[in-house]
Amino acid sequence: MTALDTVTTEHAAWLPAEALAPIGALRVLVLGSELRADTVRADALAATTRWGGQLLDDLALGADVVLALAADLAGGTEAHHPAVAAALATGRDPLGPEGFAVARVDGVTAVVAGGGSGLLYGWFHLVRTPTALRGSNAPAERHEPAHALRMLDHWDNVSVHPVMGQVERGYAGASLFFCDGKVRGDLSRVARYARLLAAAGVNRVSINNVNVGPDAARLLTADLDDVRRLADVFRPWGIRLHLSVTFAAPISLGGLPTADPLMPEVAQWWATATAAVYAAISDFGGYVVKADSEGQPGPFAYGRNHADGANLLARALAPFGGIVHWRAFVYNHRQDWRDRSTDRARAAFDHFAPLNGQFDENVVLQVKYGPIDFQPREPVSPVIAAMSATRLAVEFQVTQEYTGQQRHVCYLAPLWSEVLGFRPWGQTGSTVSEAADGGVVAVSNVGDDAFWTGHPLAQANLYAFGRLAWAPSSSPTALLDEWIGLTLPQASAGVRRALHSLMDGSWRTYESYTAPLGVGFMVSSTRHHYGPGVDSYEYTPWGTYHFADRDGVGVDRTRATGTGFAGQYPQPWRDVYESLETCPDELVLFFHHVPYGHVLNSGSTVIQHIYDTHFAGVERTDEMLREWAELEGGVPGDLFARVAELLVEQDRSAREWRDQINTYFFRKSGVPDAQGRRIF
């Protein structure tokens, strides 16, 4: 039996009772008659009961902390204390429904919120920033989310899939939502999950896999009452529920002979089915659709385009305020590897850019951040810059399909921060975050594992995603410290520093010992993308090639001599990526096929860079093992054991990556390592 098998107590993640000790020791008043205000009141009662504070029902009793809905202060309650008045007076515009203001005056900290969800977020703001609860006066601060939609997609199957399991690309056990082919009877853990998500800032959840199986399809109709039970659990935490649906539902569920989006009977079927959903779940969020992608049905079967398909569902949702997330992950997965003119990276742009402006207002085009598939290093997708007249959401992957599958430490917030801050139109243009007017979405990494995410340290990715979706300009380093402080509130400063050191550079460490210089996808096809498989996909129909030969490596995606993918970008990037002189080193093999002796901007040759980074990556995983061993006794024993065991696996896997990659390229190129290190 290993540490992976022995943990039976559910881990509290970033909301252990001790994290609420500072606010729980105070006198807290919650004002407001609304569902989320009741949630805050119940959370405050639990904290104050545990830590010796008091939940008050009257400001006159001398509160230390006041949380109030702005709408409930119209009667002059703010006059009872200047802190409330200061929080209420921030800005000319009223607070949005998720916004809040916080101020501290004369020993009282006040949060005033624009709605119930804002009150909830204000409460968790105080939990993670206990300095706001003490000290001298502090000027009022206003907090509003940058993105109105901050969503997690779960790729959970209702029944266990014979190949993909219960959670597709899941590495943390079975589904939180489904068991034995139906929604779980006991949803108490789902409620605790919803609380964790609310504390991170997530406000939408899609509960089932985008590859919709027959039993999952019935969630839309026959099993709708079970979906309603899940929605009831998420609602008190400010989270709206969405469903992934199959485009063929009118056939598989409705008995129609067609799912043609332009046929009136198909539109009527969707309208009727959607009305039934809203009759059961009045705040239902909408649909997520994967269509004409990797074998999923879609409008192409009827000679229609993606706008036709998306608008069909959008019009069924529109009367109720719902939205459809239409995924842009569309490409030819039966490509002939001999054909170098077909480029998977081009596919999403080629399909969707001509349709810009043709989607209804309540369609959100959901675009993966890169043009391939959640690789450790990709350029930002050019689709993001191409859809100026279409609502767009950027999609990330919190689950670590291509970044170590929650067996490797790989803190991904720096990657997401780079993407959100990237400026597709140059330094004077908007960022990706600003262009994503449909929000930010990510594939969840959660299952029924006691630590929620399999690898305990992978919790940081889930937390950081929510916080970045709320405030994209947040420092990933600061968010890491925030997560460590909440998760291990009793740890010493030395333990916190050591954990920060272990995690902070882990994305670049992972990148260093896997596929080099942006070429991507050198993963094993037989182990579901875990571990090295340099040529696993090289002669397959999936379109993920590196074209290594005896002379060089990389994919020519230039306009001049290659697939033309670089030309899908606006200026300045189309020219930056076109030129070997200006293309960033970390993407050079994504855009160019170069000789092994090509000298990078760093001064190293391509082949020596490959050798150096892979040796350095293993040196770092060795260090991570030693750093963690020194924390024994400084972190809880079950957490220490689980992470220690996984770090051993990470170190072993990194060595396998190093040896296979270095050996492969040594044998291809015949160029020895300049430092004479052992290559097999």
Q: What is the CA radius of gyration of the chain?
A: 26
Q: Report helix, strand or coil for 536.
A: coil
Tell me the sheet residues that pair with 289.
Answer: 326
Task: Count Cβ atoms below 10 Å from residue 175 Cβ, excluding itself.
Answer: 26
Give the contacts of 74 (CB within 8 A, at least 6 positions apart).
none
* Residue 534: both structure tokens together: 């340099």
* Residue 111: both structure tokens together: 């949060």
d(CA 658, CA 673): 13
d(CA 375, CA 293): 18
d(CA 77, CA 84): 8
Q: Report helix, strand or coil for 375.
A: coil
Q: Report helix, strand or coil for 295.
A: coil
Q: Which of 10, 180, 265, 294 is catalytic?
A: 294
Is residue 232 among the annotated active site residues?
no
Helix-strand-coil percent breakdown of the chain, rounded to 5? Answer: 40, 15, 45
Beta strand residue intervals within 328-401, DSSP E:
363-368, 392-397
Give the CB-side neighbour count of residue 419, counting CA atoms within 13 A.
30
Q: Report helix, strand or coil for 227.
A: helix
d(CA 378, CA 358): 28
Is residue 141 among the annotated active site residues?
no
The amino acid at residue 124 is F
d(CA 187, CA 110): 33
Q: Which of 98, 292, 373, 395 is catalytic?
A: 373
d(CA 485, CA 598): 45
* Residue 121: both structure tokens together: 């977020």
Q: Which of 343, 401, 449, 612 is catalytic?
A: 401
Is residue 265 among the annotated active site residues?
no
Q: Which residues are catalytic?
A: 294, 373, 401
